Amino acid sequence: MTGGLSRRAVVGSTLALAACDRTIEAQAATLELPPLRSAAPFPVGTCVQAFQLEDRALSPLIAAQVSQLTAEWEMKMEYIVQDDGSLRFDAPDQIAAFARTHGMRFFGHTLVWYAQEPPAFKRLDTGRIAFDAAYRNYILAVVGRYRGQAVGWDVVNEAIDDEGDGWRDCLWSQRLGPLEHMVLAFQHAREADPEAVLFLNDYNLENRPKKRVAFLKLVEALLKAGAPLGGLGTQTHVAADLPAGRLSAAITDLASFGLPIHLSEMDVSLRRAKGLGHDKAKLEAGQGRVYAEAAEAFSRLPAQQRFAFTHWGLRDPDSWLNYKDPGDAPLLFDRRGRPKAAAAAWIGGLR
| Residue 158 annotated in active site | yes
Instruction: Give me the least distance between CB of 46 and ligand 9MR, in Å please.
Output: 11
Give yes or no for a contact between 89 and 144, defined as CB atoms under 8 angstroms apart: no
Considering the complex, what minimum distance in angstroms separates the CB of residue 265 from ligand 9MR?
A: 5
Residue 322 CB neighbour total at 10 angstroms:
18
Catalytic residue among 72, 158, 284, 293: 158
241 near ligand 9MR, rule: CB under 6 A:
no
Q: Judged by CB under 6 A, does residue 89 bind ligand 9MR?
A: no
Q: In this complex, which beta carbon is closest to ligand 9MR, that of residue 5 or of residue 232?
A: 232
Say how far apart CA 3 and CA 81 lie, in whole Å: 43
Does 105 sit near ligand 9MR (CB under 6 A)? Answer: no
Residues 190-209 that bind ligand 9MR (CB under 6 A): 203
CB of 118 to ligand 9MR, least distance (A): 13
Q: Which residue lies nearer to ligand 9MR by CB, 114 or 186?
A: 114
Can you tell me which of 76, 105, 181, 212 binds ligand 9MR, judged by CB under 6 A? 76
Is residue 265 part of the contact set for ligand 9MR (CB under 6 A)?
yes
Instruction: Select 24 or 265, whichever has its Cβ closest to ligand 9MR.
Output: 265
HSE, side-chain direction, 13 A CA sphere, residue 113: 19
Judged by CB under 6 A, which stretch of 9-17, 73-81, 244-252, 343-351 contacts ligand 9MR? 73-81
Q: Answer yes or no whether residue 320 interacts with ligand 9MR by CB under 6 A.
A: yes
Out of 72, 74, 206, 265, pick the active-site residue: 265
With 0-12 / 13-18 / 19 or more C-beta atoms within 10 angstroms meaning exposed / middle / buried, residue 339 is buried
Instruction: For residue 284, indicate whether it is catalytic.
Output: no
Closer residue to ligand 9MR in complex, CB, 157/287: 157
Contact 113, 119 (CB under 8 A): no
Integer Cα distance of 190 and 201 in angstroms: 17
The residue from 43, 44, 45, 72 that contacts ligand 9MR (CB under 6 A) is: 72
Q: Contact, 46 vs 313, CB < 8 A?
A: yes
CB of 50 to ligand 9MR, least distance (A): 12
Tell the smallest beta-carbon distance from residue 76 to ligand 9MR (Å). 5
Among left, alpha and beta (phi > 0; psi -120 to 50; other), residue 69 is: beta
Alpha helices in the chain (DSSP H): 7-18, 24-30, 36-39, 58-65, 77-80, 90-101, 119-122, 128-145, 171-176, 180-192, 209-224, 246-255, 280-299, 341-349
Cα distance between residue 251 and residue 290, in whole Å: 13
SS3 224: helix
User: Does residue number 73 form part of the binding site for ligand 9MR (CB under 6 A)?
Assistant: yes
Could you give the residue numbers annotated as active site? 158, 265
Q: Which residues bind ligand 9MR (CB under 6 A)?
A: 72-73, 76, 78, 157, 203, 235, 265, 320
